[in-house]
Amino acid sequence: MSCGHVCREEDGVLDLRLDASFDTLLDVEEYDAAHHVTDGSARILARLYSDIVTGKGKAATGKVLEIGAGSGNLTCGLAEHSEFAEIHCSDLSPAFMRLLCQRIKMLSCRNTVHFYLLDANELPFVPGSFDFVFGHSILHHLAHFERAIAAAYRVLKPGGIAVFGEPVMDTNALISLAAGTIRMMETVRPVPAFTRREQAILEVVARRSAEKRANMEGDRDALRQIEDKFMFALADMRHLAKELGFSDFDCISPHVGKGYGAAVKAGLVQIFRQCAIDPAKLDPYQAVFENLELTMGPVADRHPVGMFSYFVFVK
Ligand SMILES: C[S@@+](CC[C@H](N)C(=O)[O-])C[C@H]1O[C@@H](n2cnc3c(N)ncnc32)[C@H](O)[C@@H]1O
């Protein structure tokens, strides 16, 4: 299945990197501590990806290539709780891959798991090798993410499906708007609800979507030193899917049916938890979310709301 170029195998990991000096900027221990792989989180992710492909009319069996597997939140779930026959998990980082191998060896896997070190921009496999390509929280780390999606197209079988869980600009712009509004309203409150540190975090969130848009429009090669590079506009991704030859594209949101205000608040609460800010501090600002509810209406089917949504590309 590999394309035949020279590769090394060590401790069950096949090294298919073309440039071994290219690595992630993430600190593996720090990332793992913050993202905590539990049986519950792995099971939920595996179910989500399986349901997405079955929702597209394809059985959640067959061969999966996972890119940017990292510490294994999705991989562990796929290995222990899914019906896929083969999981081919990969990452650029030897340190992440060591951690992932140890983690997978502790599980009672239902399928065969293979490990690769590789650059998701290259995917050195024979065309048409996989039924599915999955990536959770990987594309926005790649300066030239279009290459990774094109590579996924190449290694998919006809009718194969690629699914990527990513931050979507359409919603995150509203989260930035809410954070910026709250930050401005703080300045006129006699007693601020937020500490200086927390106000600084609100400011960062307020500026975030504009910065990510500028990254997308600027010099991509200059982004190598920035870890989280992008948020993806739905319309751009749809256009790219067409350009690359995919027959179908969809974006699936976990928040369909909710109101925009509730979904945006849920996004801010998630950020607050990550930054150790008490979500109850949003209570005096409920009007900001109610206003979004009023002006935007309910979330339509397939509209991307929530910090993360799932891009689905069908070959
Ligand atoms: C944010 S982590 C996501 C990890 C995991 N999928 C999860 O959801 O926890 C991004 C991962 O992408 C990997 N990565 C970064 N650049 C890559 C590249 N060019 N090719 C393959 N993996 C890459 C990093 O090593 C890291 O493990």
In this prediction, residue 56 carries a pLDDT of 96
The answer on pLDDT for 3 being more than 70 is no
Whether residue 32 has its Cβ less than 6 Å from ligand 1: no
What count of Cα atoms within 13 Å lies in the side-chain half-sphere of residue 265?
Answer: 20
CA 4 to ligand 1 center in whole angstroms: 24
Whether residue 45 has its Cβ less than 6 Å from ligand 1: no
- Whether the Cβ atoms of residue 232 and residue 212 lie closer than 8 Å to each other: no
In this prediction, residue 255 carries a pLDDT of 63
Nearest CA to ligand 1 atom 15: 24
Mean pLDDT for the chain?
91
- Tokens 């891009």 appear where? 311
The answer on pLDDT for 136 being more than 70 is yes
Residue 130 CA, chain-centre distance (Å), reads 20
The 3-state DSSP class for residue 158 equals: strand
CA 236 to ligand 1 center in whole angstroms: 22
Instruction: Specify the range with the lowest mean pLDDT, choosing from 22-31, 58-67, 204-213.
Output: 22-31
pLDDT in tens, 218-266: 999 999 889 999 999 989 999 999 999 999 999 887 665 667 888 889 8
The answer on pLDDT for 303 being more than 70 is no
Average pLDDT over residues 106-116: 91
Whether residue 67 has its Cβ less than 6 Å from ligand 1: yes
Atom number of ligand 1 nearest to Cα 135: 6
Q: Domains in the chain, ordered, with CATH? A: 8-167 (3.40.50.150), 169-310 (no CATH)
Instruction: Specify the range with the lowest mean pLDDT, choosing from 26-40, 204-218, 246-260.
Output: 246-260
CA 155 to ligand 1 center in whole angstroms: 19
The answer on pLDDT for 194 being more than 70 is yes
Burial 96-119 (b: 16+ CB within 10 A, else e): bbebbbebbeebebebebebbbbb
Nearest CA to ligand 1 atom 17: 92
Nearest CA to ligand 1 atom 26: 70
Residue 185 CA, chain-centre distance (Å), reads 32
Average pLDDT over residues 59-72: 97
